[in-house]
Structure 1
């Protein structure tokens, strides 16, 4: 039996109150599920903040495919997210735009999924029809203030690299929000090293490339898989792999990597 991750270096790196900033339901489990579970087991107070409800996501073929493009998809994905977070150990959670993740004095709002299209280079590009209330079009300062309202006194913030892993505009928006939160609070920002893309992403201009932190999940791979499997509209677990709605097949990462940016 593989051992669980050693909690000591995890807590030294992320501290005892890290915030994970994600764009859509399922991102938290696919990219960081094992690390979230490991930190919770180590006694950390983990917060997961989700930007949108993923209402423009494609749905895997099968019994749930009829939800695609309907008003029922978003609440279904909210339920999937709740089940995934429970499988990971129950981190604190909020959607940006509603209490407690809403800046004081502002009315509640929903940041909508901006949508995307695939570019010729294999990376996602912004959709032509993103709604005005989409996350990617929201003022960066408003998104940052919402994160700060919910974060409390975080010890680190974790989110995507400058191209959002594979280019999704909502991921990119979350990267820059996380970067600004880290700067304002003077805490570390860890960018996810995305194993599903081959491109090497350089640090933003003026920032050090930093060092990578590797989290070997050990027995927590099973926990991560349970969380991922909860997102039934978005992916299917097939042995050691997961298959996305477009048929893309990837191995479930048994190691999660992060690059410290600040």
Structure 2
């Protein structure tokens, strides 16, 4: 039995709920023309790009920036919402492939979503320019379970080939190859808490930060690394960036992920747990890392 202090309802932070007085309204470094800007987003699963940063990605693409995306896994362990597709879900009697078919299906959903977001190029970690001799071609979804306090916990049945159980260094080297290829001015991922705390989100933050730090003081280094803000804290004095993007673009991209997302109204949605969340056109970030000579732009 849960204590009165515990609430087992899955918890998600509200995006853009609080804006600091000293917030900036751009992710770009000072003096960079948006039409010359290259921004690389790094996400854990298909649908994260749309639900977490879709308004920002659409806004940047509309403004003329090159928006690229790396997705770490194919989301093989996601729960499936449509009843006619339940056979794809791991744990269902009909599913005998460990989620491979679901990963392929969700990859198709992602291809549709990124068209709505204006993404220039996309790849999964382990393929294309990220591939290496010792790099797996696929990093599998680690999955998660909800704890008694409504917060994510590690999946006890995660496979040895999943993102959180394979080599951090191998993943860092793979992402470094991506950064060297695309030469982004800005990299955007999750903050250290992984947004709402999914273990793969946390690992994605760790990989992104290490990759950027390893490239520091080289010609391939980006200027800035931003982390998607989770719970707002008044004690967090890092620079906050606020992006007011396109609700329409974000909602269209989210709707493409039909195995994962239910659009319940123009500005609300649910995952399979049916916890209603706001579709927010305002997305906020915290500065995780910056090159020593870079100044921030305050313009929108």
- TM normalised by structure 2 equals 0.76
Distance 1:26 1:235 in 2: 8
CA shift at 1:83, angstroms?
0.2
Preserved contact between residue 17 and residue 154 of structure 1 (Cα < 8 Å): yes
Residue of structure 2 equivalent to 1:244: 271
Distance 1:245 1:199 in 2: 25
Q: Is 2:194 the partner of 1:158?
A: no
- Residues 54-69 of structure 1 mapped to structure 2, 5 A cutoff: 54-69=75-90
- Residues 1-262 of structure 1 mapped to structure 2, 5 A cutoff: 9-12=26-29, 16-69=37-90, 70=95, 71-103=100-132, 105-106=133-134, 108-151=136-179, 152=181, 153-186=183-216, 187-194=223-230, 198=231, 200=233, 209-217=237-245, 220-239=246-265, 240-262=267-289
Residue of structure 2 equivalent to 1:3: none
Distance 1:155 1:243 in 2: 34
Report the more deviating stretch, 129-138 or 10-19.
10-19
Structure 2 runs not aligned, ≥5 long: 1-24, 217-222, 290-300
Change over 3 Å in CA distance of 1:222–1:79 after alignment to 2: same
Deviations 1:23-47 (A, max 9, x none): 0000000111111111122222221
Distance 1:130 1:200 in 2: 32
Distance 1:18 1:166 in 2: 23
Deviations 1:47-91 (A, max 9, x none): 110000001001114333332123421111000000000111133
Preserved contact between residue 32 and residue 256 of structure 1 (Cα < 8 Å): yes
Greater radius of gyration (CA): 2
Preserved contact between residue 160 and residue 174 of structure 1 (Cα < 8 Å): yes
CA shift at 1:174, angstroms?
0.4
Preserved contact between residue 135 and residue 171 of structure 2 (Cα < 8 Å): no
Report the more deviating stretch, 47-56 or 33-42.
33-42
- TM normalised by structure 1 equals 0.86
Structure 1 runs not aligned, ≥5 long: 1-7, 204-208
Whose relative contact order is higher, 1 or 2, with alpha carbons under 8 Å and at least 6 apart?
2
Distance 2:72 2:196 in 1: 17
Deviations 1:151-194 (A, max 9, x none): 22121211112121122111111011111122123332111013
- RMSD across aligned positions (CA): 2.1
Distance 1:98 1:229 in 2: 26
